[in-house]
Amino acid sequence: MSTLTGTLALPQAAQLIDKHRPALETAVAALRRRTFHEQFPENPKAYPETAQAEGQAAFEAQLGKPFTRLRQKSDGQLTAHEKSPYTGQPLGIGYPTLSSPEAYVAAAREAFAAWRKTSPEARCALLMEALERLKADFFELAFATQHTTGQGFMMAFQASGPHAADRATEALALAWHEQTAVPEHLVWDKPMGKFNIKLDKYYRIVPKGISLAIACSTFPTWNSVPGIFASLATGNPVIIKPHPTVVYPLALVAARLQEVFTENSLPAEIVLLAPDTPDAPITKQLAEHPEVKLIDYTGGNAFGDYIESLPGKITFTEKAGINSVIIDSTTDLQAMVNNLAFSISLYSGQMCTRPQNFFIPKNGIKAGDQQVSFDEVADAFAKAVQGLSQHPKAGPAVCGALQNAESVRNRLSEVAAKAQKVWLESTPIANPEFPEAQTAGPLVVQMSVENLKDFAHEWFGPIAILIPTESTAHSVELAQSLARQHGAISCAAYTTDPQTMNHIADAMAEAATPVSFNLLGQIYVNQNSGFSDFHVTGGNPAGNATFTDTSFVTKRFNFVGLRIQN
């Protein structure tokens, strides 16, 4: 090997590189085409028949005990503030800790020396191996997510398991592609007439430094693993700061990573889990530490704005937005309202992509061959929401439970008080399996455009606000303005007119907001598909980064050239 390559010899990783190269190259090809691809099947039936029972047994065995699968240094233990939204009982799990934020940084700094010199191919292969091993934890991860976030079991399985792993694979594929696009060493030969100039040129990949991943309480792995794996793949050690009430899911991810690192003679502390409590938070101390160079953040706007304002940091944020629905016309009124009812009911509206403001012309819309009044649309929508959310089987499964019940219920009361009309009151959702579950059915209200201040911010939870507008053009103007000023992550639109569709597409694209048109079947505006859909554009106040575009990876390292004249 050339003397200036700067990479660490890691012969035991060669087999993993050969093992995982096909999957990474397939993922790169999928990203180029943006067609359907799943590295990790979302259907639970694709996994062993005993996997769910084994996952549940592992989850139940972990309750009330220390989490011993992490291999990182520790000098203490913290029992997290995790409590099931379904049972109301604390999980009682203890996690290893270090004494201070400085201690986490010091441990990451020490691990950085070896990780930065590990070749990009080896890093990506090791990380892909960790994801493959995480498959064995998908069902335990599902129960851990369900009983910390309140997601329904199927959503918890898919979002925290295969969907999150696919998003992580996206980051790995891009990191693999971008880092291997430049040769490590070449002989540069320039003809100069009677002689040639020859230089040995070497290109080193230089990671930015310690990375901090600040996780949220609703989608702990789906929102966090893309940044975690992007930073790790580009040579940066990562400190994972889970939400104080949702630690278990990310502990499972960190444990698999540390297992692979230590088996390959690397420090476990390349990734560190750093739990804290609401009473003694450490997030700001970690974020402000001068050696922390990269920060991935998912959460509310106020703290996200603070993260973005920190000097000397490269930040990747997903904050809150105001997502709109623009209804102009539809081929099938019932199919439309059924689709939208599912969108606001899913996980009780505790999703950054769920719709909130429904802009409908006050004179009604065209539905098939019929002209339908605003009130008829509102009534049909409210009935669809009620029918789904109060269905004895579908309601509990779709709506799940409330992660922070008190905050959500306060918002429901505040919105109902501001409304001109309540089309559907929020009522509890009975869950026979979990009688103590904290639940609230969707609230459907009507507000006037004159009360812009009342719907010009996010109301997180199962809340739908119907707003009569002067026309579809007026609806588009409002949706675009809100997205530009306050951010938006998704937009749904219904129209049968091609010109109107183009107008909506142009207006919302200018506001950096993706639009889903005329969804009537089993696909919803809330959902984003790995390897195909970009999640958050980075072009409006809802966030400054995208899952997963090239800049999400390339901002985490630099190329540095070295030249030797022969």
- Residue 1 has a pLDDT of 42
DSSP letters along 307-348, please? HHH-TT-EEEEE-----EEEESEES-HHHHHHHHHHHHHGGG
Q: How far apart are CA 511 and CA 477, in angstroms?
A: 11
> Domain residues of the chain, as ranges?
57-319+545-565, 324-517
User: For a pLDDT cut of 70, what percent of the chain falls above it?
Assistant: 98
Q: What is the mean pLDDT of residues 550-559?
A: 97
Q: What is the mean pLDDT of residues 434-460?
A: 96
pLDDT tens-digit readout, 171-223: 999 999 999 999 999 999 999 999 999 999 999 999 999 999 999 999 999 99
Mapped onto helix, strand or coil, the DSSP state of residue 566 is: coil
Give the angle 232-235-240 at the CA atoms, nearest 5°: 35
At residue 5, does pLDDT exceed 90?
A: no
Q: What is the pTM of this model?
A: 0.95
Nearest to 357 by CA among 451, 247, 293: 451
- Residue 392 has a pLDDT of 94
Give the number of other Cβ atoms within 10 Å of residue 154's Cβ: 15
- Torsion over CA of 281, 287, 292 and 296, rounded to 10 degrees? 100
pLDDT tens-digit readout, 36-67: 999 999 999 999 999 999 999 999 999 999 99
pLDDT tens-digit readout, 138-181: 999 999 999 999 999 999 999 999 999 999 999 999 999 999 99
pLDDT tens-digit readout, 221-253: 999 999 999 999 999 999 999 999 999 999 999
Q: Name the DSSP class of 346.
A: G
| CATH 3.40.309.10 is right for the domain spanning 324-517 | yes
> Which string of b and e fits 422-446 if b means at least 16 CB within 10 Å?
ebbebeebebeebeebbbbbbbbbb
Protein fold of 57-319+545-565? Aldehyde Dehydrogenase; Chain A, domain 1 (3.40.605)
